Amino acid sequence: MQRILDKIKSYDKIIIHGHKRPDGDCYGAQFGLKNIIKNSFPQKEVYVVGEKSDFVDFVGQVDTISDDIYQGALSIVVDTAVKDRISDQRYTLGQEVIKIDHHIPVDDYGDLRWVDTSFPSCAQMITYFYYKFKNELKLTEEGAIALYTGIVTDTGRFRFRGVSQLTHQLAGLLIDKGVDVEYIDGKLSKETLEMIALKGYVYSNFVTAKGFVYLKMTRDIIEKYNVTDEQAASVVGLIGGIEGFPVWALFIEYPSEIRIRLRSSGPTIDKLANQYGGGGHAKAAGARLDSWEQLPQFIKDVEEVVKVYNEV
């Protein structure tokens, strides 16, 4: 961490990247880090680039920059294990690259890396970074809101096993910086009548296999309920935690593939996700199918994972 701070100090321009389809933790880490650098070293130029996320745009707005800004700049990539998923790919144009991530490493990119899978969110890593050097660093309420959002979204509101005393200690520090937890919850919980209607659809149309519950989210359903892809994907949690069904998944139809949001409350499912072109955490992973024809085989594979788990 000291080396990362030294690098930050030694550059005048810093460009912060995240991953494609950014979530709350990605945005939280990106904008939280920007806030810390900008307030601690006001003379530096700091940019956040990458895809836009409507869901968490209240934490900050991404910058649009030209290639020449990368000249002599430091690229920092947060929350991204796989090179191809970095958004955008111009991070390589920077003079040096730093990787900060809490996922199991897939690609060892970057000149300097801080990877620690014991953190349940990348935003917690950034908060910890601030906390460690708080005598020389500054963080304002705006940055605290970003970081708190990242911690809350990636831990499912402090529910997942990676949550530790440190998580709560750092969340408390952010609240002390002025975070209004109900404001953030309101932003993250906003529902539209369309989404409520979609939820009714989900609860009435999921399918049960052996120890496995799933739902097919086809294009026509997404269009019928007039929701965004992001909103459609967010319903995966609704079919989770049902007694007797330790694994659940949402299959979201895209023009050229079917993306899978795979979740578990029992068996680890990241290896299965690897077999289907994806990856992630032990109990929350992403994967993909080329077409619906692969679905029966995927279901069989999940049932096998559940069976093995139940036999242990």
What is the closest distance, in whole angstroms, from the C-beta atom of residue 120 to a second copy in the complex? 10
Stretch that binds a second copy, among 30-38, 51-59, 168-176, 269-277 (CB under 8 A): 168-176
* H helix or E strand, kind and range, residue 183: helix 181-189
- On the 0-12 / 13-18 / 19+ scale of CB atoms within 10 A, 94 is buried
CB 84 within 8 A of CB 66: no
Tokens coding 101: 């991530």
Q: Does 54 bind a second copy (CB under 8 A)?
A: no
Mark residues 197-236: x for contact with a second copy by CB under 8 A, - for none.
x-xx--xx-x-x----------------------------
Given CA atoms 10, 15, 18, 23 in this order, what sign does their dihedral have? positive
Q: Does 6 bind a second copy (CB under 8 A)?
A: no
CB 98 within 8 A of CB 111: yes
- In the region spanning residues 125 to 154, those forming contacts with a second copy, defined by CB under 8 A, are 152
CB 247 within 8 A of CB 302: yes
Tokens coding 95: 């003079």
> Which residue do the tokens 């990119």 mark?
109
What is the closest distance, in whole angstroms, from the C-beta atom of residue 156 to a second copy in the complex? 8
Mark residues 175-194: x for contact with a second copy by CB under 8 A, - for none.
xx---xxx--xx--xxxxx-
Pairing of strands 13-19, 86-87: antiparallel
Interface residue with a second copy among 196, 257, 290, 300 (CB under 8 A) is: 196
* # residues near a second copy by CB under 8 A: 44
Q: Which is nearer to a second copy, 190 or 300 (CB)?
A: 190
What is the closest distance, in whole angstroms, from the C-beta atom of residue 12 to a second copy in the complex? 35
CB atoms within 10 A of CB 269: 27
Which residues here bind a second copy, judged by CB under 8 A? Answer: 152, 156-161, 163-169, 171-173, 175-176, 180-182, 185-186, 189-193, 196-197, 199-200, 203-204, 206, 208, 238-243, 265
